[in-house]
Amino acid sequence: MKHSYLNKTPAAVRGAVLAGSASAPRKAHGPSLRHLLQDDTGQDLIEYALVAALVGLGALAAMKGLKNSVGNTFNGVGNSLTNAVA
């Protein structure tokens, strides 16, 4: 046969395609609802994105809580350096 992809199709479809018949069975367009509900591709990516968002929110909350403490520490170090140089 000339077309290698036709070797992988059922005989009835292969005959209809070769004969140029328009009555060859056709697949439905797009996945069915059952297939979409059972499909779990991309689930890991969504889970990682949710974990990253939670880590980011936790880091933001921790930074807001430590803002004054860190600021006071840097001011103390800055004042100590200024006094040591003077």
Strands, E assignment, 1-86: none
Q: Where are the domains of the chain?
A: 42-86
Q: In the prediction, which pLDDT does 2 show?
A: 57
Q: Which of 36-40, 45-49, 51-55, 67-71 has the lowest mean pLDDT?
A: 36-40
pLDDT tens digits, 1-47: 555 555 555 565 555 555 555 555 556 677 788 887 777 777 888 89
Cα 69 to Cα 4: distance, rounded to the nearest angstrom: 72
- Long-range CB pairs of 67-70 (<8 Å, 24+ gap) are none
Q: Residue 78: pLDDT above 90?
A: yes
User: What is the pTM assigned to this prediction?
Assistant: 0.42
Q: Residue 53: pLDDT above 80?
A: yes
